[in-house]
A and B are shown apart, each in its own frame.
Chain A
Amino acid sequence: MAFPFFQVPYLGNGMTIALNAVLHVFLSHGIAIGLIALIVHAEWRGWRTGNAEWERYARTMIVPAVVIITAVGAVTGAGIWFIVSALAPRGLGSMLRLFFWPWFIEWMVFTLEVIVILFYYYTWKSWTGSRKGWHVLLGALYTPLGILSAVLITGILGFMLTSDGWPWSGSFWQAFLNPTFAPQLLLRIAICFGIGSLVALLFIAFGRWSASFRREAGRFHAAVLLTSLLGGLLAAFWYFGAVPRTFGVFAVFSVLTSHLIEYETLFWAINGVAVLVIAIAALAARGRRRWTLRIAAPLALLFMLSLVTEFERVREFIRGPYLMPGYMYANEVLLAEVPLMQQRSAVQGSWWYQASPAVGTVDEQGAHLFAQNCGVCHTIGGLNDITDRLKGRSRDGIYVLAGYTSRMVPFMAPFGGTDAERRIMADYLYRLTAGETEVVAPSRFLPTIGEDTR
């Protein structure tokens, strides 16, 4: 193949990307866009009304917000890039070529965002009095820049599920302005203000404020939260209506997986409870009793973050078997390459296999074929362990199933390799599952080779 393989041990590649990406979503959406906008609003309110508590409230939040978004938010955002570079280089490289200009423009927007937020932060104490209005304006510049970033990135993310007519036309605009672009953008904006308002409510619940300020600020943030919740639900409904049904039918499975698929009713119930708890937090924010908000706000935030995680999981999973629908499978093999690889040897066609110091054993070939075809989703001995999946299957059964993956399991890619190679891989996986061979280096899929181990 075009690149060597690496798989994060135990976690696997998908989970590694997900852990970083979901953290980034929390921070970029909730803190960078949502909370910063609410901080600017608080500062503006304090300035217009002369209420020092609003100013103090804003000041209390800005310091941790800026530290977190510059140290963790920005790094996890670049981190998605870093991680995918190592784990899906061909896919990322292809996406970069297709969407170079949105990403390049987004870089410029991101740079402006950082400059604005740093100026906003460092001039807080000095831009006072007659310059306070300018300071508020400076802060107000940040949110539209953040939303512009979201616009650019959402087009790219939407393409990965709904590539629309691009595979046939090659049209950039069809790729970017795809069917899930608009609903996903609205959903993400709702997420921004949903998380942001809940974090702001935490500061209200656990900070030292007068009763009147708590009520006033609580009412405002409750309104923001409820609007976000309603907007988010409508946007989610629109979004899933725009997702092709061939993908959408596996949405529930993507969350429950084989382990919990029998509990679909419970799944819907928990989602319902999550929405209810968030609504209750909004009501608690309007109430007089601080203890209700102290209980409801953290719970609601936890449920909100869970819903966001669930959405990202569904979005990423249901696009399977594709990474770029109509062009590239999730295992970075192109759709048009599969018939070619089924005619010609996939192993012999791999520069990296030929360049490796492999002695050409059947195990090495099997491991290479597994890595190329299946390693994107399946680990050996970790999450989505292939030996668990194949337990109980016969050797010939694995051979047959590998030839019909995409028919049997619609979110799995077809096998790319000759029949003989499929048999080699099946034999290797059978012996791996039976414990008759071991993997010496699970990151690079190196099996035991006779007496030589690496």
Chain B
Amino acid sequence: MTRLHDLLLAPPLGDGVLQVLLFVTFVMHFLFVLLLLGTAILAVVFELRDALLRRSEDDISTRRIARSFLVHKSVAVVLGVAPLLLIQVGFTVPFFSAVVLFAPWWLSLVLLMIVAFLAFDFPEHMEGVRRGAKLALWTVSLAVLLVIPGVFVLILTTAEHAGAWPEILRLGIQLPPELGLHWVLRYLHVLGAAIVFGAAFHAIRTPAQEARQKAVLVRWAYGGLLAQIVIGVLLYAWLPRDPEAAANVAVALGVTAAVALLGYTFLRRAAGGFPRPRTVITLLALLLVSMLAGRQFLQNQGFLPLLGDLREARQERLDALAPHRAEALAAYGDDLAMVHDTGQRIYKRACAFCHNVVGRGDGPAAADLEIPPEAVGFARMSPAYLQKVLHEGIPGTGMPYFSYYDEAKRRRLLEYMDRTMHIFGPVPAGEPVAPEVQAQAEEVWMQTCSSCHGTDGRGAELSRRYEPPPPDFTQFVPLPDRAEEVIAGGYRGTMMFAYEDLAPDVRHALARKVVAFREGEVAPEGDVAPAQRRDRVR
């Protein structure tokens, strides 16, 4: 099977430096994500409880809690740029693959964040918002905020398990059951961490004289820690792959810090006091750093083997492309120098591959077309007709529209074609024919030709629905020689059949008739460009 390969531009950083930077920036970002989520959860729960119990707005100091949201979210967003940059640079293929697989969820993050942040900050910082409206907006904000970590966990879970990508595709872009369970537990673990860190942060910020509020927040942190231990055990027990030693050590350290914090808090509360901020911060920092280190080790178990394969395949790809690089650059240089604003350049680039450089209709691509390109160099037409064709194309054929060329460019194209092919010039009448031959031609026209071309050469009503329709001969006529060729041989792929049984002089007379439809533009014999008089089209 074809191999996935890493991007072909070299990574800007060594793997070691990238790992360290990724870890440090992710810790900083994640801390503020936890604070922002924890702040939102606490603010909404306390405000809801106060509203239900009809307490005043400042009973639990939700204002102090809520005011910090703007700081947490602003710092969380800005700090999130760096780990995103680093993971996309270092683990490009797995991360972006996961993002594209779950693109609708990923794309929704932008709108979700805007809604969540505005819904929280607007009532908090703008005056005159009533309490009921504030609570409603905050509830919306929290509901939306809770989706966001779920999406990030989904992306990381998918990125770390490349082996599951075919299964994800087979299931119609869904996680397989074992990864689904992992995702749920990992998501809950993030929410639990948000409660722990949020509650601890606000408990530390609450002054000692607000003992009741402080106690509530400490209980939240404590309960969150207990829940985290349970969820963490389940998460670790149901990891999709066996963790390596480094991850085990990091997680063990984190668990130790968590248990130590639980014990310390329990003992301090039992003694009637509150945990000391410095101790709490130290243990939480150790907990965060060790757990996130464990997370990164586990992530590397998924990324690093894949990275090895990707880099090997990258070199193969580079080797395969090497012979083509110089040619591609040379062509690029030519394209940079090519300005599509003269008639000659536009014709040669956009028209000649079908119509041929002198308009013979047998350009290099013509053989692939069932309906051959028009021999424009062997026709006469009105500028209005050609403008219309350039604007609309010709239905049922390969002739496209060219309305991406503005009026000035199309005018220059027409001028070039007229200058080189005399397309707007007078139409030669062709050699005169005997009256009885002309009469025969008139009869053929009325009995046969007019059924498609109309009695006036503008096309019969019915034939206007053909694709392509016959041309309006008052606007477009082939030169007499060309017209005779078409009458005799037909126009391949169209309703114009071959009339080779007609006598040559009758065909000639019919050609003169066709040419005569071109209003007021018929010229005597001799007014034709020498090249066009000599050459037969086919």
Q: Is the pairing of A and B real?
A: yes
B78 A111 Cβ-Cβ under 8 A: yes
Separation of A351 and B94 alpha carbons in the complex (Å): 13
Closest to A345 in B: B2
CB distance from B317 to the nearest CB of A (A): 9
Closest to B122 in A: A67
> Out of B9, B320, B332, B350, which one reaches A94, CB within 8 Å?
B9
Separation of A101 and B85 alpha carbons in the complex (Å): 10
A85 B80 Cβ-Cβ under 8 A: no
Write out the residue numbers on chain B whose beta carbons fall within 8 Å of the beta carbon of A96: 85, 88-89, 92
B166 A355 Cβ-Cβ under 8 A: yes
B403 A71 Cβ-Cβ under 8 A: no
Closest to A259 in B: B403
Write out the residue numbers on chain A whose beta carbons fall within 8 Å of the beta carbon of B399: 397
- Which residues of B from 4 to 58 have beta carbons under 8 Å from A? 4-5, 7-13
A354 B370 Cβ-Cβ under 8 A: no
Separation of A338 and B70 alpha carbons in the complex (Å): 49
Against B, the Cβ 8 Å flags (1 = close, 0 = not) of A357-369 are 1000000000000
Against A, the Cβ 8 Å flags (1 = close, 0 = not) of B103-115 are 1101101100110
Separation of A429 and B59 alpha carbons in the complex (Å): 66
Closest to A412 in B: B404
Asked if A245 meets B339 with Cβ closer than 8 Å, knowing A71-B118, A401-B398, the reply is yes
Against A, the Cβ 8 Å flags (1 = close, 0 = not) of B326-363 are 01110110011111110000000110011000000000
Write out the residue numbers on chain B whose beta carbons fall within 8 Å of the beta carbon of A354: 1-2
B8 A85 Cβ-Cβ under 8 A: no
A29 at the interface (CB under 8 A from B): no
Separation of A75 and B81 alpha carbons in the complex (Å): 11
B73 A70 Cβ-Cβ under 8 A: yes
Separation of A385 and B84 alpha carbons in the complex (Å): 33
Write out the residue numbers on chain A whose beta carbons fall within 8 Å of the beta carbon of B100: 3-6, 86, 89
A400 B368 Cβ-Cβ under 8 A: yes
Write out the residue numbers on chain A whose beta carbons fall within 8 Å of the beta carbon of B7: 2, 90, 93-94, 97
Separation of A336 and B329 alpha carbons in the complex (Å): 8
* Interface segment, one of A187-195, A214-222, A250-258: A250-258
B340 A246 Cβ-Cβ under 8 A: yes
B340 A74 Cβ-Cβ under 8 A: no
Against B, the Cβ 8 Å flags (1 = close, 0 = not) of A409-422 are 11100000000000
CB distance from A437 to the nearest CB of B (A): 20
Asked if A401 meets B368 with Cβ closer than 8 Å, knowing A97-B10, A101-B12, A408-B350, the reply is no
Write out the residue numbers on chain B whose beta carbons fall within 8 Å of the beta carbon of A326: 329, 332
A241 at the interface (CB under 8 A from B): no
Separation of A261 and B390 alpha carbons in the complex (Å): 13
B332 A75 Cβ-Cβ under 8 A: no
B350 A403 Cβ-Cβ under 8 A: no
Write out the residue numbers on chain B whose beta carbons fall within 8 Å of the beta carbon of A79: 109-110, 113
A325 B110 Cβ-Cβ under 8 A: no
Asked if A397 meets B400 with Cβ closer than 8 Å, knowing A100-B85, A335-B332, A357-B169, the reply is yes
> Out of B11, B321, B324, B349, which one reaches A407, CB within 8 Å?
B349
Closest to A24 in B: B110
> Out of A5, A63, A261, A335, which one reaches B404, CB within 8 Å?
A261
Write out the residue numbers on chain A whose beta carbons fall within 8 Å of the beta carbon of B12: 97, 100-101
CB distance from A124 to the nearest CB of B (A): 12
Write out the residue numbers on chain B whose beta carbons fall within 8 Å of the beta carbon of A340: 320-321, 324
Separation of A103 and B21 alpha carbons in the complex (Å): 14
Against A, the Cβ 8 Å flags (1 = close, 0 = not) of B365-382 are 100111100000000000
A137 at the interface (CB under 8 A from B): no
B73 A335 Cβ-Cβ under 8 A: no
Tally of contact residues, A, Cβ under 8 A: 96
> Out of A71, A100, A336, A396, which one reaches B324, CB within 8 Å?
A336
Separation of A254 and B448 alpha carbons in the complex (Å): 48
CB distance from B339 to the nearest CB of A (A): 5
A114 B407 Cβ-Cβ under 8 A: no
Asked if A85 meets B99 with Cβ closer than 8 Å, knowing A118-B70, A250-B404, A443-B104, the reply is yes
Write out the residue numbers on chain B whose beta carbons fall within 8 Å of the beta carbon of A348: 2
Write out the residue numbers on chain B whose beta carbons fall within 8 Å of the beta carbon of A396: 368-370, 398
A70 B117 Cβ-Cβ under 8 A: yes
Against B, the Cβ 8 Å flags (1 = close, 0 = not) of A72-90 are 1011101101110111011
CB distance from B179 to the nearest CB of A (A): 16
B121 at the interface (CB under 8 A from A): yes
A167 at the interface (CB under 8 A from B): yes
Write out the residue numbers on chain B whose beta carbons fall within 8 Å of the beta carbon of A357: 169-170
Closest to B320 in A: A340
> Out of B74, B336, B365, B396, which one reaches A246, CB within 8 Å?
B336
Question: Looking at chain B's contact residues, is the secondary structure mostly helix, strand, loop, or mixed?
Answer: helix
CB distance from B224 to the nearest CB of A (A): 27
Write out the residue numbers on chain B whose beta carbons fall within 8 Å of the beta carbon of A92: 88, 96
Write out the residue numbers on chain B whose beta carbons fall within 8 Å of the beta carbon of A392: 393-396, 467
Write out the residue numbers on chain B whose beta carbons fall within 8 Å of the beta carbon of A76: 110, 114
Write out the residue numbers on chain A whose beta carbons fall within 8 Å of the beta carbon of B398: 393-394, 396-398, 400-401
CB distance from B286 to the nearest CB of A (A): 25
B117 A71 Cβ-Cβ under 8 A: yes
Separation of A38 and B84 alpha carbons in the complex (Å): 33
Write out the residue numbers on chain A whose beta carbons fall within 8 Å of the beta carbon of B96: 3, 85, 89-90, 92-93
A399 B78 Cβ-Cβ under 8 A: no
B79 at the interface (CB under 8 A from A): yes
Asked if A335 meets B103 with Cβ closer than 8 Å, knowing A71-B121, A94-B9, A252-B406, the reply is no
CB distance from A26 to the nearest CB of B (A): 14
> Out of B74, B169, B350, which one reaches A114, CB within 8 Å?
B74
> Out of B107, B118, B331, B368, which one reaches A86, CB within 8 Å?
B107
> Out of A86, A98, A167, A252, which one reaches B332, CB within 8 Å?
A167
B97 at the interface (CB under 8 A from A): yes
Closest to A410 in B: B340
Separation of A264 and B404 alpha carbons in the complex (Å): 12
Write out the residue numbers on chain A whose beta carbons fall within 8 Å of the beta carbon of B295: none
A174 at the interface (CB under 8 A from B): no
A264 B320 Cβ-Cβ under 8 A: no
- Which residues of B from 213 to 267 have beta carbons under 8 Å from A? none
A2 B350 Cβ-Cβ under 8 A: no
A118 B369 Cβ-Cβ under 8 A: no
B75 at the interface (CB under 8 A from A): yes
Separation of A278 and B115 alpha carbons in the complex (Å): 32
Closest to A404 in B: B353
A110 at the interface (CB under 8 A from B): yes
B13 A100 Cβ-Cβ under 8 A: yes
A356 at the interface (CB under 8 A from B): yes
Closest to A89 in B: B96
Separation of A348 and B2 alpha carbons in the complex (Å): 7
A339 B350 Cβ-Cβ under 8 A: no
B77 at the interface (CB under 8 A from A): yes
Shortest 8 CB-CB contacts between residues of A and residues of B: A397-B398, A89-B96, A79-B110, A392-B395, A71-B117, A100-B12, A6-B103, A335-B328
- With A94-B8, A326-B332, A406-B335 given, can you name 16 additional A-B contacts, CB distance below 8 Å? A2-B93, A4-B97, A89-B97, A93-B92, A96-B88, A107-B85, A111-B78, A114-B77, A122-B71, A246-B340, A256-B406, A335-B332, A339-B324, A392-B395, A404-B365, A411-B404
Give chain B's interface residues, CB within 8 Å of chain A: 1-5, 7-13, 70-71, 73-75, 77-82, 84-85, 88-89, 92-93, 96-97, 99-101, 103-104, 106-107, 109-110, 113-114, 117-118, 121-122, 125-126, 165-166, 169-170, 172, 320-321, 324-325, 327-329, 331-332, 335-341, 349-350, 353-354, 365, 368-371, 393-401, 403-409, 467
Give chain A's interface residues, CB within 8 Å of chain B: 2-6, 8, 16, 20, 63-64, 66-67, 70-72, 74-76, 78-79, 81-83, 85-87, 89-90, 92-94, 96-98, 100-101, 103-104, 107, 110-111, 113-115, 118, 122, 167-168, 244-246, 249-250, 252-253, 256, 258, 261-262, 264, 325-326, 334-340, 348-351, 354-357, 392-394, 396-401, 403-404, 406-411, 443, 454
Question: What are 7 pairs between A and B in contact, CB < 8 Å?
Answer: A86-B100, A111-B78, A246-B339, A249-B341, A334-B328, A393-B393, A393-B397
